[in-house]
Amino acid sequence: MSELVNYTKQGEIGVITIENPPVNALSPGVPEGIAAGIEAAANDSEVKAVVLIGGGRTFIAGADIKEFGKVTSGEKPRFSLNSVLERIENSSKPVVAAIHGTAFGGGLETAMAAHYRVAVLSAQVGQPEVKLGIIPGAGGTQRLPRLAGVAKAVEMCAFGEPIDAKTALSAGILDKIVDGDLLAGAVEFAKNVIGKPAPKTRDRNEKLQDAAANTAIFALAREQARKTRRGQMAPLAAIDAVEAAAKLPFAEGLNREAEIFRVCLFSTQSKALIHAFFGERAVAKIPDIPKETKTYEIQRAAVIGAGTMGGGIAMNYANAGIPVIVKETAQDALDRGMATIRKNYENSVKKGRFSQGVMDQRMALITPQLSYDGFEQADIIVEAVFEGMALKKQIFGEVDAIAKAGCVLASNTSTLDIDEIASATKRPQMVIGHHFFSPANVMRLLEIVRGKATSKEVIQTSMQLAKKLNKIGVLAGNCRGFIGNRMIHCYGREAQFLVEEGAAPEQVDGAIYEFGLAMGPLAMGDLAGLDVGWRIRKEFKHLEKPGVRIPHMADRLCEIGRYGQKTGKGWYKYDAERKSSPDPEVTALIEQVAKEYGIERRAITHEEIIERTIYALVNEGARILEEGIALRAVDIDIVYLNGYGFPAWRGGPMFYADTIGLKHVLAKVEEFEKRHGSDLWAPAPLLRKLAEAGKTFEGWDKERESAAGA
């Protein structure tokens, strides 16, 4: 056997147990170990049936994702999982897969090659490969439709969402749900199938037969994939592979799957999505803060401000079961805030996300009030008022006087200096930035901003709290706009310049949307409210450098009351359904602004829009990285994927730059510097250094990681 798989016996039942923590991935050694277990059972005349089970917290969570990078960089795979699965399926002694935790990807594929599958009620099964830009590569697209039917298989393989044990049972993927101890239940099940013919999934063709129905299923799935997985190749590829199951004999279907799998595996999209998968986990690791750092327990929260952000933040706490006070200064603002929260919850109930009962529980956890009553008991106080330093300092001064010792004092500022805010208190070590992204109850990013005095305990508490609130916490250093907004400032600036230079707003937004972002920068401004940035710009007016070009349009729109969607007009005009259309008033204003400032108008290409906006992000990202504001390039990517709608299949702005090649990016930045000046476009020294050395941002992360580990 291998060290990662062991084989024991319980009377007539051979038990193969996978022991590859933490998630029993099919790393080298595991498939071989399973094959050896099957072999041992075959050769043991006492053994009449086999149970395959995972040790620790889960069954097999899939192939070892780390291995994919080795394969794409030319290493020969050490084994063929398909051949191991064939051995399981060909076993003359029935094999029962016993599932707990998550049987994902290659895990579910292994289970489907067994003759029977039993699971505990809490188990989940799924083919999430598309989320990594690949498709199932060990028969998932061929065996799943044979067990669950074409519609279910398409849904699971193309969209990647897991299903629970009950659903899997009714779909035909599972044969039984086991109450109590899984191994005991599986052994009992195995005893009952001794001597019975072992059904091979590959031979079960009855659910594939209805060609007309299948055609309709594939057409609908393709339409959905194009709509909901815009720009991604893997979902469509997965549908092609399931279609092969419906049309070809098993062995040919398996070959077709292998071909498609390979194309996907070698794609840039897959590399980007795998980068995002590991990145999401890497951001939780902070080099100078050990895992065992003490944390404060957060059992009660209080939020100051019931506006869009305050309300959304309060919902996060309520959703996590943490009672939260929401404070406002005026009754009507408080009522409006609570009405919005209620409406958001009602929408979720209407959409079937949770029940009315759950909504009532969550609403009951939120206490609206006008006073600071109860703040003395809070474990965390989150300030979420508008972006004004004077007001924030006043609030932190007030809170400092009431909060108990050990209470985390967080500001939801999106740009302001955390150290200055902290200076309004006598406990700057407890002050930290918790920058949520709008809508705060939906967006997964929480930018956690470290002030110079913020204690390690407060940082660690914040990182763990992010998880509890179902957010991805990314640590940022303190500077104007931190990681996300400091970069977005450059991107938004270029978007406005492009408009002033001749591109229509819908042309700029259209190019960015086509690139894959959820929406373009101008539409995003309208959604967030143009007045927010206007207020911030006023706050920072004194920092403007004379002679450096600044964009004018957003301010001019605000000056005539066009704040965006909330006023029914901004860069666009909006109808009652919030559908946007270009507005001649805006076109006229753009032309007037260009004239006033002597900006020459010209035809702008799609390519220029992408390069000016995205490379502006990259160049600023490189500075942020060099200054240590972001710990790693991948942290910047994770911020952009989860806070700004950057397409995951492009990996984030820094990874995208790597895929384009930093030499090319640098050459463009230098060209823009010549055209638009060094104040705006001087290449970041790190970008130059890496480009000239033929390196990448991803490589830079790795070098630093291994230097830190050495």
Residue range at the interface with ligand 3H9 (CB under 6 A); choices 127-135, 143-151, 301-309, 443-451 = 127-135
Residue range at the interface with ligand 3H9 (CB under 6 A); choices 58-66, 173-181, 374-382, 518-526 = 58-66
Tokens read off for 699:
């490589």
- Determine which residue in the list 31, 106, 235, 279 makes contact with ligand 3H9, applying CB under 6 A: 106
CA gap 243, 208 in Å, rounded: 10
CA gap 408, 410 in Å, rounded: 6
Of 145, 144, 136, 138, which Cα lies nearest the Cα of 208? Answer: 145
- Determine which residue in the list 281, 343, 452, 663 makes contact with ligand 3H9, applying CB under 6 A: 281
Task: Rule CB under 6 A: say whether 241 interacts with ligand 3H9.
Answer: no
User: What is the CA angle 91-58-106, rounded to 5?
Assistant: 50
Q: What is the DSSP string of 679-695?
A: HHHPPPHHHHHHHHTT-
Q: Which residues pair with 99 in a beta bridge?
A: 119
Residue range at the interface with ligand 3H9 (CB under 6 A); choices 56-64, 319-327, 332-340, 363-371 = 56-64
CA gap 532, 485 in Å, rounded: 12
Q: Cβ(142)–Cβ(253) under 8 Å? A: yes
Residue range at the interface with ligand 3H9 (CB under 6 A); choices 105-113, 375-383, 553-561, 592-600 = 105-113
Task: Rule CB under 6 A: say whether 105 interacts with ligand 3H9.
Answer: yes
Number of other residues whose CB lies within 10 A of the CB of residue 10: 15
Task: Rule CB under 6 A: say whether 279 interacts with ligand 3H9.
Answer: no
Scan residues 204-233 and list those touching ligand 3H9 (CB under 6 A). Answer: none
Task: Rule CB under 6 A: say whether 129 interacts with ligand 3H9.
Answer: yes
Task: Rule CB under 6 A: say whether 63 interacts with ligand 3H9.
Answer: yes
Task: Rule CB under 6 A: say whether 78 interacts with ligand 3H9.
Answer: no
- Determine which residue in the list 14, 94, 128, 253 makes contact with ligand 3H9, applying CB under 6 A: 128
The single residue of 89, 109, 243, 500 carrying the catalytic annotation is 109
The single residue of 129, 383, 500, 611 carrying the catalytic annotation is 129
Task: Rule CB under 6 A: say whether 404 interacts with ligand 3H9.
Answer: no
Tokens read off for 495:
């978007």
Compute the least distance from the CB of residue 517 to ligand 3H9, in Å: 24
* Cβ contacts of 668 within 8 Å, gap of 6 or more: 611, 615
Number of other residues whose CB lies within 10 A of the CB of residue 409: 26
CA gap 348, 444 in Å, rounded: 17
Compute the least distance from the CB of residue 131 to ligand 3H9, in Å: 6
CA gap 380, 297 in Å, rounded: 9
* Cβ contacts of 595 within 8 Å, gap of 6 or more: none
Total number of residues that touch ligand 3H9 (CB under 6 A): 23
Pairing of strands 380-383, 301-304: parallel
Task: Rule CB under 6 A: say whether 140 interacts with ligand 3H9.
Answer: yes
129 is catalytic: yes
Residue range at the interface with ligand 3H9 (CB under 6 A); choices 59-67, 233-241, 294-302, 500-508 = 59-67
**Helix or strand (DSSP H, E) at 436:** strand 431-436
Task: Rule CB under 6 A: say whether 337 interacts with ligand 3H9.
Answer: no
109 is catalytic: yes
What separation in angstroms does the CA of 261 have from each of 115, 219, 295?
Answer: 25, 21, 44
Scan residues 465-524 and list those touching ligand 3H9 (CB under 6 A). Answer: none
Running DSSP on this structure, what letter comes out for residue 180?
S
Task: Rule CB under 6 A: say whether 145 interacts with ligand 3H9.
Answer: no
Compute the least distance from the CB of residue 136 to ligand 3H9, in Å: 4
Using CB under 6 A, list all residues that contact ligand 3H9.
Answer: 22-23, 25, 61-66, 81, 102, 104-106, 109, 128-129, 132, 136-138, 140, 281
Catalytic residues: 109, 129
